[in-house]
Amino acid sequence: MKIAINTGGGDAPGLNAAIRSATLSAIRRGWEVVGIRNGYGSLYSDEPFIPLTRARVRGITLQGGTILGTANRGNPFEMPYKKEDGSWELVDQSDEAVSQFKKHGIDALVAIGGDGSMRIANRLSQKGVPVVGVPKTIDNDIWGCEITLGFDTAVTTATEAIDKITTTAESHRRIMVIEVMGRYAGWIALHSGLSASADVILMPEIDFSLESVAQKILEKEEKGESYSIVVVAEGAKEKGGEHFVKGKVPGQSEQLGGVGAYLERRLSEMTGKESRSLVLGHLQRGGTPSTYDRLISLRFGAAAIRAIENRDYNKMIVMQQNEIRRIPLSEVADKMKLVPLDGDTVQTAREIGICLGD
Ligand code: F6P
C-alpha cells in the first residue's frame, strides 16, 4: 500500500501533528507514505512527492505550518493560466492529476484541508481516486464537523491579542477595533470576543447597524466606561452592504479585509471618540498548536489511516460529540457551517450584554 498526503489551502496549527500521526500509523501497517509538495499545483512537476519516513516526521507535532508546504491556488479542476492577451482562464487539469497518482502508484490519498480542499477531494473521488478527507481550518466552518484542526489555537491567539489591546484601549479611553479572520463565518470573532470580554462582536451571520454599535459605545460612556472593544470578523458586513474585499486573484477565492478600518473611521465620526483599528491577519494562523489542536490532529490523522485500511473511501473524518466519525465527502462539499444564531454561545453573549450589531 502506498498513500499520499496533501495539505491544501491556508495553513493552520496542527497540520504537522496530523501528518505525523497519519505517517506513523501507515508505516506501522507496513505502508509507504509520501507527501505532496506545496499542494496539488506541484503534481505536474518532476518531483511532486516528498518521502515521509519516521525520521522526517519526528518532533513536528509542536510545529506550526506544514512541512509539506501548501497553496491556495492549485485546484486541479481550475488551474489558472495566463493567456497571451494577459487575461486569465481556468483550465481543468484533473485528468493529468489522476494519471500522476496512477503513475506514482498511489493507492489512496489523505486530503487535509478546508472546504475548498474537501470539494476537490470529492471531485477527485468521483474520478476514481480513493480519498479520505481531514478537516483543517482556523475558520471552523466545515460542514458536518463540530471542530476543525487549527481553530482552537487561532482563537487563543486572537483572545490573547484582544486582552493586550484592552489595556491600551483603557489607558487612552479609545475605541479599539480588532479585525479577525474567519471568512464568511463568525466562529473566531464570537469565541475570541466573548472570551476576551469584548463590548461588541460583529459576525458575518448578523449584518450590523452602525447606529446600534455607536449606541452601545455611548451607553458605556454614560456609565463611566470610557473605552470600548469591538471585535469584527473580516466577513462581517453592514445592513444592506457588501463584504469588504481587498482583492481577487484568478483561481483563488476573494481576499476579505477592510471592515476594521471602516469601523474605526465611522465609529469615531459617530461617537466623537478617538478610535484605532488593527488587523490580526495571518498571526492567527501561526504558532505552536494548542494541546487540544495537537490531540484532535493526531486523532484525525490516525483515523484517516483506519478509514483507508477499512477501504472506507470518499469520506471525511469528523469530530462529533468528541467521537471520531466518518461522513461522505459528497455531503460536505459546497456547504458551510455558520454560527447558529439560536445556539448557547450567541445567547450567552447577548445575556451578558455584548452588542452583536443588530
Ligand atoms: O481560510 C483560512 C484563512 O486564514 C481565512 O480566515 C482568510 O480569509 C484566508 O485564509 C486568508 O487567506 P490568504 O492566506 O490567501 O491571505
Which amino acid is present at 163? D
Tell me the C-alpha distance between 210 and 218, whole Å: 12
Please, what is the average pLDDT of the chain?
96
* Common-topology check for domains 2-149+289-332 and 154-285: yes
pLDDT band for position 74 (cuts 50, 70, 90): confident
CA of residue 179 to ligand 1 center, whole Å: 13
Q: Tell me if the domain spanning 154-285 has CATH number 3.50.50.60.
A: no
pLDDT value at 250 more than 80: no
**Contacts by 305-311 with C-beta closer than 8 Å and gap 24+?**
305/3, 305/22, 305/25, 305/26, 305/29, 305/110, 306/25, 307/132, 308/1, 308/3, 308/26, 308/108, 308/110, 308/130, 308/132, 309/29, 311/130
Q: What is the pLDDT of residue 172?
A: 97
Q: What is the pLDDT of residue 68?
A: 97
On the 0-12 / 13-18 / 19+ scale of CB atoms within 10 A, 247 is exposed
Q: What is the pLDDT of residue 294?
A: 98
- Of the candidate CATH numbers 3.40.50.450, 3.40.50.150, 3.90.180.10, 3.90.1530.10, the domain formed by 2-149+289-332 belongs to 3.40.50.450
* Mean pLDDT of all residues in 158-169: 98
pLDDT band for position 44 (cuts 50, 70, 90): confident
Q: Which residue's CA is the closest to the ligand 1 atom numbered 16?
A: 255
Domain range summary for the chain, segments of one domain joined by +: 2-149+289-332, 154-285
Q: What is the pLDDT of residue 22?
A: 98
Q: What is the pLDDT of residue 82?
A: 87
Task: Print burial letters for 200-225: b (CB count within 10 Å at least 16), e (below 16).
Answer: bbbbbbbebebeebbebbeebbeeee
Q: Which residue's CA is the closest to the ligand 1 atom numbered 3?
A: 10
DSSP structure string for 253-267: PPEE--HHHHHHHHH
Give the count of alpha carbons within 13 A of 271, CB side only. 29
* Mean pLDDT of all residues in 226-250: 95
Q: How much of the chain is in helix, strand and coil states, percent to nearest 5?
A: 35, 20, 40
C-alpha cell at 149: 484542526
CA of residue 1 to ligand 1 center, whole Å: 34
Helix (H, G, I), strand (E, B) or coil at 142: coil
What are 280-321's pLDDT values in tens digits? 999 999 999 999 999 999 999 999 999 999 999 999 999 999
CA of residue 101 to ligand 1 center, whole Å: 28
Helix (H, G, I), strand (E, B) or coil at 247: strand
* Mean pLDDT of all residues in 259-273: 98
Q: What is the pLDDT of residue 253?
A: 82
Task: Specify the residue for cell string 465609529.
Answer: 267
Tell me the sheet residues that pair with 110: 5, 132
Query: Which conformational region is residue 326 in: left (phi greater than 0), alpha (psi within -120 to 50 degrees), or beta?
Result: beta
The model carries a pTM of: 0.96
Q: Which residue's CA is the closest to the ligand 1 atom numbered 13?
A: 10
Atom of ligand 1 nearest to the CA of 285: 4
Do 232 and 259 touch, CB atoms closer than 8 A? Answer: yes
Q: What is the pLDDT of residue 81?
A: 85
Residue list, ligand 1 pocket, CB within 6 Å: 10, 72, 114, 137-139, 181-183, 234, 255-256, 285
Q: Estimate the crossing angle of helix 151-172 against helix 187-195, to 10 degrees.
A: 50
On the 0-12 / 13-18 / 19+ scale of CB atoms within 10 A, 311 is exposed
CA of residue 10 to ligand 1 center, whole Å: 6
**What is residue 136's DSSP assignment?**
B
| Substitution site in 180, 192, 249, 285 for ligand 1 pocket (most atoms within 8 Å of beta carbon) | 285
What are 76-131's pLDDT values in tens digits? 999 888 898 988 899 999 999 999 999 999 999 999 999 999 999 999 999 999 99
Helix (H, G, I), strand (E, B) or coil at 302: helix
Residues with catalytic roles: 139
Q: Which residue's CA is the closest to the ligand 1 atom numbered 8?
A: 183
Q: What is the pLDDT of residue 248?
A: 83
Phi–psi pair at 333, nearest 5 degrees: -60, 140
Helix (H, G, I), strand (E, B) or coil at 339: coil
CA of residue 155 to ligand 1 center, whole Å: 14
Q: What is the pLDDT of residue 236?
A: 98
pLDDT band for position 17 (cuts 50, 70, 90): very high
* Mean pLDDT of all residues in 119-145: 97
* Strands 108-113 and 131-135, sheet pairing: parallel
Do 4 and 106 touch, CB atoms closer than 8 A? Answer: yes
Residues sharing a CB contact under 8 Å with residue 51, sequence separation 6 or more, in sequence order: 33, 34
- Tell me the percentage of the chain whose pLDDT exceeds 70: 100
Q: What is the largest CA-CA distance in the chain?
A: 71
